[in-house]
Structure 1
Amino acid sequence: MQNVAENIRSYYEKLHPGEKKIADYVLSHQDSIVDATIQTLSEKIGISTASISRFTRHLGYPNFRDFLIALSASKKTERSDFFTEIEEDDESDQVVKKLFSAGVSALTATAANLKVKDLNKVVDWLVDSAKIGFFGIGGSSIVAFNAYHKFLRTNLNIVSHPDYDIQIMQAAHLTSDDLGIVISHSGRNQDTLLVENKLRENGSKIVAITAFPESPIAKNADIVLNSYSEEVNFREESMSSLVAQITIIDTLFTLVGHRLKQETDQVITSMRKVIEQTRVKK
């Protein structure tokens, strides 16, 4: 079941100003509005009932009643302050607890919202594509290179590079027989979008991994795998999002390994022998 607060925050950047006003009020008064009527909520926020109805439909709920039911259910199953504030007077153990809680929340929310049919389709593309490119800038380049490192243990033909100029050249070489997996926390990185546009020009299949399903990079992809994250102050980009994205990559790798068990086992065995030669003997 999708947490309503997580859903609101994932769509927040694409909401209209009036919808953001509704979102801000809902996020700040989750406990008190579960029993509210659309009329009372309209009066409290100063927004028309029609605007509230459009807001709930934008988030994927057929009507205000279904929105409240979902909100009530999510409040019962998870008490989440999805934006964790680290206060000046927090002790070290409190900081550690908040950070690990953010990571656990991100993984739980991401797992709950991943669609198996989308994962299976991406695995189909990974297995059937002539070449696969992993692309990401800044913090997302860590996820892309992690994916490259993981998928070297398969027999798939993969490319990746941390340098942006090389990424754009690699994207230019991919064709309609190939797959590009584009990673961006915000989904709004201009350089990453240029890479994605190049993939689109070439007819390559595109998978986006992002925390914002309404972002330009998400809208330009064929399939979007959402990484939900609990934002923590002192960090411009959520590290919990990074953890969720790496786990999505781990999931895809494991599904591919399961699909191509014999071939993957052969590659892993061969790599283990090579890696063992680099280690100091006891």
Structure 2
Amino acid sequence: MRCLQKIIVNKALFTPGERKIADYILAQPDKVKAYSSQELAASLGISQSSIIKFAQRLGFKGFPSLKIALIEEWGQQSQQTEAQDGQLHNDISSHDTPAVIAEKLFREKQQALRDTTEHLDYASLEQVVACIREAGRIQIIGVGGSSLVAKDLAYKMMKVGYPVMNELDSHVQLTVAQSLGEGDVQLVISFSGNLKEITLAAGEARKNGAKVVAVTSLQESPLRKMADYTLDTLAEESRWRSSSIAVRTAQNTITDLLFVCLLQGDGERSRQYIRRSKGIIEQLES
């Protein structure tokens, strides 16, 4: 895992002092490149030993080795930005063969799946599953690529009898969101958590007493702050990309896991819905 991603991934586990260092590194790369550990500590108003311990927590011997790793990573990002003409998506270039592209895509998607499952809060997942099982109505929303993930989950849940609402139009999403109330659940899929359409809908649902579940990244965002529960998606987003392939892989990892957990708890009821659905569809083929 890249150094910057490791910092983002572990932010929720850091102490307040460590989060202060992490936020500064992410927001002020030019200053970090020039600072010694003593200068960085003075700028943040903390002890030099705190900087050293932070570096060691990330697996480095001290701040110099952490700084070297960060400078190399920032340099790679800069080179990738300059070389975008021949770049199709992240590490994939216009010169790669189909076989090489397939291998690179496999690694990218595999990494997103592994990072997401390894860092998932399974206690929160169980709470979300319990809320959905008891919900009167369930609204599942997303915008752009996330709307495809939302539609897929909505279809699966409808198939086994859940009272799901899923709309692609943001105006309709808002209209439905304001009608939610206590006992209802709104599941919001958004990697950034910053889109106005999403935050308005989540705000309306929460204001009226509905539970808001966010499938989102670890980065601080308006959606993350207002959600009752968060299911974290981890994907490499620091490099140039043509499409959010790794993000959708991470999101689908969460939604598929959520669906299978719901199936597990519903037992025979879900199996009956699936058999009936299969039987009806088979009539179309006969």
* TM-score w.r.t. length of structure 2: 0.75
Aligned residue-pair number: 249
Whether 1:117 aligns to 2:123 is: yes
More helix as a share of residues: 2
In the TM superposition, what are the counterparts of 1:50-199 in structure 2 within 5 Å?
51=44, 64-65=52-53, 67-71=55-59, 84-199=90-205
| 1:40-88 C-alpha deviation (Å, 9 max, x unpaired) | x95179533563969x9xxxxx874265244359xxxxxxx89843345
| 1:171-218 C-alpha deviation (Å, 9 max, x unpaired) | 122111100001112111111111111111111100001124411111
Distance in 1 (CA, whole Å) between partners of 2:254 and 2:199 is: 20
Code of the residue aligned with 1:124 in structure 2: it is A
Distance in 1 (CA, whole Å) between partners of 2:267 and 2:58 is: 40
| 1:24-43 C-alpha deviation (Å, 9 max, x unpaired) | 969xxxxxxxxxxxxxx951
Change in 2 beyond 3 A, CA 1:249/1:23? farther
Report deviation, 1:161: 1.3
CA contact (8 A) 1:135 1:144 kept: yes
Alignment gaps of 5+ in structure 2: 12-19, 62-72, 78-89
Change in 2 beyond 3 A, CA 1:159/1:94? same
Distance in 2 (CA, whole Å) between partners of 1:276 and 1:213 is: 45
2:283 aligns with one of 265, 272, 277:
277
Distance in 2 (CA, whole Å) between partners of 1:270 and 1:136 is: 29
Distance in 1 (CA, whole Å) between partners of 2:59 and 2:109 is: 22
In the TM superposition, what are the counterparts of 1:235-246 in structure 2 within 5 Å?
235=242, 238-246=244-252
Distance in 2 (CA, whole Å) between partners of 1:223 and 1:229 is: 20
Distance in 2 (CA, whole Å) between partners of 1:86 and 1:53 is: 42
Report deviation, 1:89: 3.9
* TM-score w.r.t. length of structure 1: 0.76
1:20 aligns with one of 13, 22, 27:
27
Distance in 2 (CA, whole Å) between partners of 1:228 and 1:200 is: 25
1:264 aligns with one of 266, 270, 273:
270
Distance in 2 (CA, whole Å) between partners of 1:278 and 1:25 is: 64
Q: Percent identity?
A: 25
Secondary structure, in 3 states, of the residue corresponding to 2:187? strand
Report deviation, 1:117: 0.4
> What's the Cα RMSD here?
3.3
Whether 1:48 aligns to 2:55 is: no
